[in-house]
């Protein structure tokens, strides 16, 4: 009898473990093909709470993030495109992995060990998001797909020496992982064979009201764990000043509607960026474990998002250059303010600013970053 009871207990435990192991699934598929016939792989991560994320190999892109609202109605909360052509033909970086250097490098130039490197310039005479063909415009290799308590997909890319003007061959891995606790974690690793600079981010733009809602993302309430930000020149390069947010439209140290700040045209930095397109200095700086940086909530849908990161900065971008001319998901055009980005990263133009946290990567070192998007719903 004892042996039977033990066996029954083991069987029950096995069933429970099996049930837990299948709490989150990863399913491979495809997302069309490039004009040369190259098929684009897609992986959908899904948990038992009704949250799903689709990642495509082109640009290692977060193509969709489906989240139920407080009534149980699911909607996509990241803007993007329904077909691969949208991602190939447009320069808006929607949901992509940005590299080799996220954000801007002034005049497309920097020096390492006394040698000056000239990069491709693609934004008002500056280098932006990796150049003319950054990592958002290449097909990544799907390395591993896992289901289990956490579903995940790992993608890789090898950036050759000299690509867009950068020194060194860089091998990079990005992993998207979705847990049953509604955590979408993006982890990065990179190595190089020569001294270089690396600064990675994901460029998803969020609308917690839902892409199909037609509501402005600026109606959301935001709190940032940041007391200072980097003012910029007219071409979005940091001036070098680290400015307090206190008493400015950049102050989200306590919860506030984004619209209540971003429409304050009296502040010269709002005019410079046509809204907010600035890097915030996250309290705690560069850390080994992710710390809270962003809390975003939408009262109407009940959806909420907390972003935790190991990075020292968050570039907040209120969709200032979404011009309403390019149709996105469901044929909807995306306009200024329809979505907002929180790009976890090192600071812009760090290679030319020795006072900023370094983005230098040497042979034998490993670049790492972890950013967690915790999704929640309130009634």
pLDDT tens-place string over residues 183-201: 999 999 999 999 999 999 9
- Cα atoms found within 13 Å of the Cα of residue 329, Cβ hemisphere only: 19
Tell the burial category of 257 from Cβ atoms under 10 Å away from its Cβ (0-12, 13-18, 19+): middle
pLDDT at 119: 98
277 is in an annotated binding site: yes
On whether the CB atoms of residues 296 and 367 are closer than 8 A, the answer is no
Q: Tens of pLDDT along 270-329? A: 998 889 999 999 999 999 999 999 999 999 999 999 999 999 999 999 999 888 888 899
Q: Is residue 153 part of a domain?
A: yes
Q: Is residue 49 part of a domain?
A: yes
**Which strand (E) or helix (H) includes residue 344?**
strand 340-345
343 a catalytic residue: yes
Q: What is the mean pLDDT of residues 72-76?
A: 98
Residues whose CB falls within 8 Å of the CB of residue 149, separated by 6 or more in sequence, listed in order: 20, 21, 23, 24, 179, 180
Spatial CA neighbour of 46 closest among 65, 25, 76, 16: 25
pLDDT at 19: 45
Q: Using 50, 70 and 90 to split pLDDT, how confident is the model at 20?
A: very low
Q: Is residue 10 part of a domain?
A: no
User: Rounded CA gap, 97 and 99, in Å?
Assistant: 7
**Which strand (E) or helix (H) includes residue 42?**
strand 39-47
352 is in an annotated binding site: no
pLDDT at 48: 97
Q: Using 50, 70 and 90 to split pLDDT, how confident is the model at 162?
A: very high
**Which strand (E) or helix (H) includes residue 304?**
strand 303-309
On whether the CB atoms of residues 301 and 320 are closer than 8 A, the answer is no
Q: Is residue 16 part of a domain?
A: no
The domain that holds 108 is classified in CATH as 2.70.98.10
User: Rounded CA gap, 263 and 275, in Å?
Assistant: 7
pLDDT at 204: 98
Q: Is residue 188 part of a domain?
A: yes
Name the DSSP class of 214: -
Average model confidence (pLDDT) for the chain?
94
pLDDT at 327: 86
How many domains would you assign to the chain?
A: 1
Set 127, 129, 203, 374: catalytic member: 203
Q: Is residue 162 part of a domain?
A: yes
Spatial CA neighbour of 33 closest among 139, 117, 125: 139
Q: Is residue 2 part of a domain?
A: no
Tell the burial category of 298 from Cβ atoms under 10 Å away from its Cβ (0-12, 13-18, 19+): buried
Spatial CA neighbour of 318 closest among 343, 298, 336: 336
Report whether pLDDT(336) > 60: yes
Spatial CA neighbour of 214 closest among 69, 65, 334: 334
**What predicted TM-score, i.e. pTM, was given to this entire model?**
0.93
Is residue 179 helix, strand or coil? strand
203 a catalytic residue: yes
pLDDT at 264: 80
User: Rounded CA gap, 19 and 147, in Å?
Assistant: 12
Q: Using 50, 70 and 90 to split pLDDT, how confident is the model at 22?
A: low
Q: Tens of pLDDT along 212-260? A: 998 999 999 999 999 999 999 999 999 999 999 999 999 999 999 999 9
Q: Tens of pLDDT along 119-145? A: 999 999 999 999 999 999 999 999 999
Of the chain, the percentage scoring pLDDT greater than 90 comes to 86
Set 44, 164, 225, 343: catalytic member: 343
Q: Is residue 3 part of a domain?
A: no
User: Torsion angle, CA of 337/122/232/325, rounded to 10 degrees?
Assistant: -20
User: Rounded CA gap, 253 and 227, in Å?
Assistant: 7
103 is in an annotated binding site: yes
- Sign of the Cα torsion 95, 343, 353, 258 reads positive
Structural domain boundaries enclosing 172: 23-377
Cis peptide before 143 (omega within 30 of 0): no
Report whether pLDDT(30) > 80: yes
Q: What is the mean pLDDT of residues 1-25?
A: 49
Q: Using 50, 70 and 90 to split pLDDT, how confident is the model at 91?
A: confident
């Amino acid at each position: 009898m004892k042996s039977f009871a033990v066996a029954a207990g083991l069987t029950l435990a096995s069933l429970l473990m099996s049930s837990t192991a299948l709490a989150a699934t990863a399913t491979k598929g495809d997302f069309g093909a490039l004009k040369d016939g190259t098929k684009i792989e897609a992986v959908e991560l899904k948990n038992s709470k009704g949250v799903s994320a689709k990642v495509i190999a082109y640009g290692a892109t977060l193509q969709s993030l489906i989240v139920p609202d407080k009534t149980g109605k699911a909607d996509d909360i990241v803007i993007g495109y329904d077909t691969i052509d949208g991602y190939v033909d447009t320069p808006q970086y929607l949901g992509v992995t940005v590299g080799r250097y996220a954000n801007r490098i002034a005049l497309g130039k920097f020096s390492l060990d006394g040698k000056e490197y000239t990069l491709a310039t693609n934004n008002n005479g500056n280098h932006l998001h990796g150049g003319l063909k950054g990592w958002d415009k290449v097909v990544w290799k799907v390395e591993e797909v896992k289901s289990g308590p956490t579903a995940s997909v790992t993608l890789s890319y090898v950036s050759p020496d000299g690509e867009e003007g950068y020194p060194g061959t860089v091998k990079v891995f990005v992993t998207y992982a979705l847990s049953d606790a509604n955590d979408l974690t993006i982890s990065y690793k990179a190595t190089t064979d020569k001294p270089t600079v690396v600064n990675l981010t994901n460029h998803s733009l969020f609308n917690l009201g839902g892409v199909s809602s037609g509501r402005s993302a600026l109606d959301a309430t935001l709190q940032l764990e940041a007391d200072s930000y980097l003012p910029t020149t007219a071409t979005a390069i940091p001036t070098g000043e680290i400015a307090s947010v206190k008493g400015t439209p950049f102050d989200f140290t306590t919860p506030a509607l984004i619209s209540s700040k971003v429409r304050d045209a009296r502040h010269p930095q709002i005019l410079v960026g046509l809204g907010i397109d600035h890097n915030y200095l996250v309290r705690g700086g560069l850390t080994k474990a992710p710390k809270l940086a962003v809390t975003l909530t939408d009262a109407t849908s009940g959806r909420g998002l907390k972003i935790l990161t190991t990075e020292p900065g968050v570039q907040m971008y209120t969709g200032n250059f979404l011009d309403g001319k390019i149709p996105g998901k469901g044929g909807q055009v995306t306009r200024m303010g329809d979505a907002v980005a929180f790009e976890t990263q090192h600071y812009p133009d760090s290679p030319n600013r020795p006072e900023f946290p370094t983005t230098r990567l040497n042979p034998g070192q490993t670049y790492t970053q972890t950013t967690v998007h915790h999704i929640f719903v309130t009634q």
